[in-house]
Amino acid sequence: MSVKFLKKLSISAVLGLLSHSAMAQLAPYQTALPTLNATEFAPGVVSTDAFEINTVLNQTGDEVIFSRCSDDFSKCVLMQSDFVDSKWQKAKVLPFSGDYTDADPYFTPDYSTLYYISKRPIDGSNKATANYNLWRVRRDGDSWGEPEYLPELSSPENDLYPSVTDDGRLFFPSRRNNSRFLYYTQITPTGFGELNKIPAEVYGENGAIGDSVVSRDGKVIIFSIRNRSDSFGRGDLYISRLVNNKWTVAENLGSKVNTPDHEFTPIFSPDNKKLYFTRIENNKGNLYEIDLSALNVSLEMIEPGQLSYRQQAFESLQNDTTLAGIPLDKPWKRSLYQLVANTMQHPAWGMNHYERNYLLTLKLAEMEGVKVDTDVLFAAAFLHDMATFQPWANGTDHSQRAAELVPLILEDIGFDTNKVKEVQDLILGHMFYSKTEDYPLAQLFHDADTLDFMGVTGITRILSLNGKGAWATNTAKAIETLKGFTEQLPPTLVSASAKRLGEARLAEMQHFLEQLEPATYQFKAP
């Protein structure tokens, strides 16, 4: 069956379309399609009928360390499962664990040290401590060192859930002086710096924190919090951000994660794209994963300009419009807009380009007297380049790849599945070198995307790619691409209205190149 005639697909059916080579490019913890709903992690192997907590992956994602506990939660050991032959293997107890209760592992940014908590003896005896203390153990390849107790950080109460930022700050929740706070300190070559704490107001009214993780850049905290009035159950996950050097009051992450059960032990994947957590169901701890994009959360290290645009995009949601004023008049449009704002940022194709394509298609439709299904157009405009972004890109034609993937995305957000094929048709024919379907909206969408490569806008897009793609490996190549576009693009325009607009945009490009040529010695200067 041709991709362009794909109907509504199940997850397994879409995955079946993916080539083995494409899947091999992904780390084991990554998925070719976004995990938009909380899904059990490695069921039957890592997440089993036993009580499991914590999901800590190594840098390459082919090893997971977690805690497996007794039913009454009185004893936990640290376990390791390796990803071999395309599946997670039976877990084994780490060589330094097993005799005493160990839990809450967390790697340092260089993955050379594992911090964790333990009740192992601290006085030279064989007697376990009554409370959890902070420990760490060095790692060299597959070899583990001797566990090291951290007395300067430990207290008579439970010290829990360590996490470490890229700048070497260690965060951990601890109950001291009858109150539990999230504490942090700087790791130094000789020990640790002064102990500080996140203010209580960040936890929200009556909020009692438990396991909490800080993002590697130190700008986001996911808390496990109990006793809040907005909680879904016995304990929920909440998010706080560092804004102008002040932590925001933690906000509930919502029903995609939180349930009437108890959610805790949050942690991020190595690529900052997924959230892992534990859910206690029927008195057993199960491990779950979900894409952060499904929660409208992003931890990507992006350029300041992109961050500004993303922040503005989310602010525009309060007005029920996109940043360019496109109505977000249906819940699925808001969900899609948020997903795209979180995951598809690029100087040449991304949010700005998507909004221009939508608006220009509407303009062409008005000029041509064509009726537009704005649902189909919105979905196509905001998803047509999705396969240029990870984890969806696989080296094949991005239009074809996007057409394969959009059914699952649209089904999950509540889009009318009867219109999915029309969206696919627009996506498949959007590029200037693509053959369009023989109906007006597909042709106009093709024209709009082609026009966006022309004129001042097209010049800006290609120059912004400098050094980032085949069209612009350097400035000289970018100029060569623009010169080629002046000849390649105009003949591909279909509608009369697009051809008229194209004439003006072509003149802009030709004028730019004419002015640039003598200033660069016939384009020979860098």
List Cβ neighbours of 86 (8 Å cut-off, separation of 6 or more): none
The predicted pLDDT at position 3 comes to: 35
Contacts by 57-65 with C-beta closer than 8 Å and gap 24+? 57/29, 57/269, 57/270, 58/107, 58/111, 58/270, 59/107, 59/111, 59/270, 60/27, 60/270, 61/27, 61/28, 61/29, 61/30, 61/269, 61/270, 62/27, 62/28, 64/29, 64/88, 65/94, 65/105, 65/114
The predicted pLDDT at position 7 comes to: 34
Q: Divide the 526 residues of the chain into consecutive groups of 10 and give the mean pLDDT of each group.
A: 34 34 58 77 96 95 96 94 95 97 97 97 92 97 95 94 97 93 97 96 95 95 96 95 89 93 96 94 94 74 46 59 89 86 76 92 96 97 90 84 91 91 96 89 96 92 81 83 94 96 94 79 54
The predicted pLDDT at position 472 comes to: 75
Q: Which of 264, 257, 250, 255 is nearest to 220 (CA)?
A: 250
Phi then psi for residue 144, to 5 deg, are: -105, 145
Express each pLDDT in 184-234 by its tens digit.
999 999 999 999 999 999 999 999 999 999 999 999 999 999 999 999 999
The predicted pLDDT at position 34 comes to: 67
Other beta carbons within 10 angstroms of residue 220's beta carbon come to 21
Express each pLDDT in 261-278 by its tens digit.
999 999 999 988 899 999
The predicted pLDDT at position 521 comes to: 54
What CATH class is the domain 37-294? mainly beta
CA 319 vs CA 303, 306, 315: distances in Å: 25, 21, 8
Other beta carbons within 10 angstroms of residue 8's beta carbon come to 13
Domain spans of the chain, in order of start: 37-294, 304-431, 453-526
In the chain, helix, strand, coil percent, each to 5? Answer: 35, 25, 40
